Amino acid sequence: MFKLQLKKFDKGSKLRIALLVFALIMTLLPFISDYILHFVILIYLYMILSLGLNIVPGFNGLLDLGYVGFYGIGAYTSGLLTYHFGLSYWIIIPLAFINGAIWGILLGAPTLRLTGDYFAIVTFGFSELVVLLLTNEIWLTRGPLGLPGIDLISIDLSLFGGPKWEFVGEIPYYYLSIIMVLATIFVMHRIQDSRLGRAWFAIRDDEVAAVSCGINLLSYKVIAFAISAAFGAVGGSFFARWVTFLSPDMFKFWESFLILCMIVLGGMGNIWGVMIGAFVLVSMSEILREILPVLGLPVEARFLAFGLIMVIMMRYKPAGLLPIQAVAAQMRSGKVKRKKIKVSVGMKE
């Protein structure tokens, strides 16, 4: 994966080398401490989530405020299947992926006809709905009591006469999360230069022109939404088996907002930027969690800090730390808004 990237010696190659070095350091981390390890796994988890969300606002230019709904669905899919049926995590990953995609289609197919802010409101409503459902359907989810005692991930080779190895401590999760991040990057890269990716970029740039090139807007947006949801659900399935406890308030709206902040901060539409955004915000969150009590402030005050960062970013670097051409240009000209009005009114002479 990284080697492929290094071949092209363009502007971003320095960054990629830096990432490679970073990755090497990361592999050595397990020997430091469990606390740091836990924190790094969290970063990786958010990298998966923000890469997944990136498809919708980054590749398609649609605002999605309900991503955490799919994260929650994935987490509870994983939690419940483990709790009731004791399914292995390796079977749960594809199931969570499919379940996420199904819910993405169910939500996206009727609502992706809406443009811009209206669609964002629907997704916001959806994420609230998921939380309400998880809280109130006590027969299924145990409601606010939460779902404790979810099994750890294990590699069970006893069927083939091999040993059964349970993931105890943070180290195995650490390696698993690295593999999952790499797999996600791999998929995103391949989509990016494919027919599917080009269709999305076309939709992001100009919907009317995209349609006249034969791109079916609705179905491509639904595909994007479903894939994004599927990655959210996979992230959730990992989360459930890692922390082994779920409760509905882990999937509140601010979580969506945080992931959205990550991709805006890093650079919407840019895979590497999005990952940097996840790294920066998760680290900051953890650091502030330590610092704020010392200063005599409540831990929740860290959201103020996030807000401040976003305001500063919007003022000085609106397209993110690693901007891509498309987003930067749209931010410069305010084209996003104008374009949407044109599309909904239709074209006149």
Partner 1 sequence: MKSILEIKSLFKSFGGLDALRDINFKINVGDIIGLIGPNGAGKTTLFNCVAGIEKPTQGEIIFTTNGQTTSIAGKKPETVTALGIARTFQNIRLFDNLTVSDNVKIGRHCRTKSNFLRAVLRSKFQREEEKAIAESANYYLDFVGLKGRGEEIASSMPYGHQRRLEIARALATEPHLLMLDEPAAGMNPMESRNLMDLIKRIRDKGTTILLIEHDMKVVMGVCERVVVINHGEWLAEGEPKMVQNDPKVIEAYLGTGAVDAAQAG
Which parts of this chain interact with partner 1 (CB under 8 A)?
187, 190-191, 194-199, 201-202, 205-206, 208-217, 223, 227, 324-326, 329-330, 346-349
The least distance separating partner 1 from the CB of residue 277, rounded to whole angstroms, comes to 20
- What is each CA distance from 217 to 35, 86, 155, 285, 291, in whole angstroms? 46, 41, 42, 37, 47
The least distance separating partner 1 from the CB of residue 225, rounded to whole angstroms, comes to 12
The least distance separating partner 1 from the CB of residue 193, rounded to whole angstroms, comes to 8
Q: Give me the count of residues in the chain.
A: 349
Rounded to whole angstroms, the Cα distance separating 94 from 88 reads 11
For every residue of 135-171, DSSP letters joined together read HH-HHHH-GGG-B--PPPPEEE-GGGT--EEE--SSH
Residue for token pair 């779920």: 246
The least distance separating partner 1 from the CB of residue 276, rounded to whole angstroms, comes to 21
Cα 317 to the center of its chain, rounded Å: 22
Rounded to whole angstroms, the Cα distance separating 295 from 143 reads 35
Beta strand residue intervals within the chain, DSSP E: 154-156, 164-166
The least distance separating partner 1 from the CB of residue 227, rounded to whole angstroms, comes to 7
DSSP 251: G
CB atoms within 10 A of CB 344: 12
The tokens for 93 are 């990953």
The least distance separating partner 1 from the CB of residue 196, rounded to whole angstroms, comes to 5
Looking at the DSSP bridge assignments, the partners of residue 246 are 147
The least distance separating partner 1 from the CB of residue 60, rounded to whole angstroms, comes to 13
Nearer to partner 1, 251 or 272 (CB): 272
Tell me how many helices (H) and strands (E) the chain has.
17, 2
Nearer to partner 1, 102 or 171 (CB): 102
Rounded to whole angstroms, the Cα distance separating 69 from 253 reads 8
Nearer to partner 1, 95 or 171 (CB): 95
Nearer to partner 1, 3 or 84 (CB): 3
Nearer to partner 1, 321 or 324 (CB): 324
Nearer to partner 1, 122 or 230 (CB): 230
Nearer to partner 1, 202 or 282 (CB): 202
Nearer to partner 1, 187 or 310 (CB): 187
The least distance separating partner 1 from the CB of residue 205, rounded to whole angstroms, comes to 4
Q: Coil, strand or helix: which one is 268?
A: coil
